[in-house]
Amino acid sequence: MPVFTDLNDLARRFEVQNQDELSKYNVYFVMNTIKRQQQKQVWNYLFADRKWQANMGPTMQGVRLEPTPITRQFFRPNAITARAAQDMFDQQESQERATVRWHKYRSRQIYFLRNFQDFIADQIKPAQADIDDKILYGQELFLRTAIWDRCPLVYVCKQNGDPLVGAPHSGPPNYTASPKNQNWLADQIDDTVGHLTPERLDNIYHCAKEELGIYPMDGAGANAKMPKENDPLEGQFCVLMSGEAYGSLRWTPGFDKLRAITNDQLHKRFMGALFGDLMVKAEYLPIRFAEDGSTYEPQIVDENKELVPNPQYAKLANSPIEVGFFIGGEVASAIEIGPPPREFAGGASSKKVTGMNWNGKTSITDELLIYDADQDIYDYNSDKEFLRIQGTATHAVLPKRARNILPFFFRRRRVSEIAA
């Protein structure tokens, strides 16, 4: 198994990379270079707008002044010849807090013998790049998980009853950890849960606006720094779903009438604009689960040591339910992963970059303890025979208005099923 997650800080720290797993010069090899699918960042672009700083403290606290409600549908003031009535307003504050978290990312100890006998000349840089990718994607998963845990409502695409369902969440007053567990997920699913259709998406859109009061993004804060090739989100809503889900929508009769004909699906990050102010964005490896609420790891390594999709996650029969997200404005604010952009303004030397300290930065160290087979220390790596790649990331997200994001559950399908 090439990945060990959520281990104790001291676990496996002295293991050495198994040299027998690597190709060596005693056999002639042809190196195959394949292009891996780039791990797309979505949540980080939408919500990461705070610069990480050392000594920020263990807890983020946010206070929000809530406007007073509109309490009438009709308004008839007194005549000017009578005494005027009055409205009195009392603004309330809502509070949110979030714990700042951290996680370490490590390679096994790398033995110098690699450079003498391994077929691939430089294995340090690819290994470091892989850990860098995992730190960035770890940020994606953290943001999605934290916001998913905080959502107080979900929308279930079912035929009967109210589709809006109250959900356990991690917010005040209880701040429950991992509230939406397997049993709760299983309780939401029955035979009436249907597919995502344009009509159902339209219902989600209007439920979010009319019943929940979700308002669009204003283009400020994190949204203002979206990459230039993106369509702006100012005054719009965003929907996250898989490419599979959007692909099934495209083949639904009448769908072309909902999509903006000027949208460039090939060169833009967004797949389509619907209803005029709803931008659809593809999510890499969305949340999927089985009828009984079981969730599975998205990827595995097969018997040929190739990275492949996990059939338990990818096949419709095994994980038939998928979760999308309807997102409005001011949902959350998160700490960024990566170097501060201002450090690179005008260019930076390699020495300057190496000396910088940023959130999620990886480095190579030879400051290691070498253990023997009995786990007894016998050397402090004085000969510098071993290296290790390591990095630490700080993660934190502070909800602003948790009701402004609505997860929706639907049953997966593909084009071949629609045509059948």
Q: How many other C-beta atoms are found inside a 10 Å radius of the C-beta of residue 370?
A: 16
Answer for the pair 205, 273: CB distance below 8 angstroms, yes or no: no
Residue 60, beta-bridge partner list = 98
C-alpha–C-alpha distance, residues 23 and 173, integer Å: 55
- Would you call 246 helix, strand, or coil by DSSP? helix
Percent of the chain topping pLDDT 70: 67
- Quick: pLDDT tens for 119-154: 455 677 888 888 888 888 888 899 999 999 999 999
In the chain, where the domains are located:
19-60+97-342+394-419
The answer to whether residues 97 and 400 touch, using CB atoms and an 8 Å cutoff, is no
pLDDT digits (tens, 9 = 90+) for 232-280: 567 788 999 998 998 888 777 767 666 554 454 434 444 656 666 788 8
Sorting pLDDT into bands at 50, 70 and 90, what band is 21? Answer: low
pTM passes above 0.85: no
Residue with tokens 């989600």: 204
Q: Please tell me whether residue 403 adopts helix, strand or coil conformation.
A: helix
Residue 358, burial from CB neighbour count under 10 angstroms (0-12, 13-18, 19+): middle
The residue-averaged pLDDT of 167-183 equals: 87
The pLDDT, as a whole number, for residue 315 is 95
CA distance 214 to 218: 12
Rounded CA-CA distance 111/117 in Å is: 11
∠ CA(7), CA(11), CA(15), 5° rounding? 120
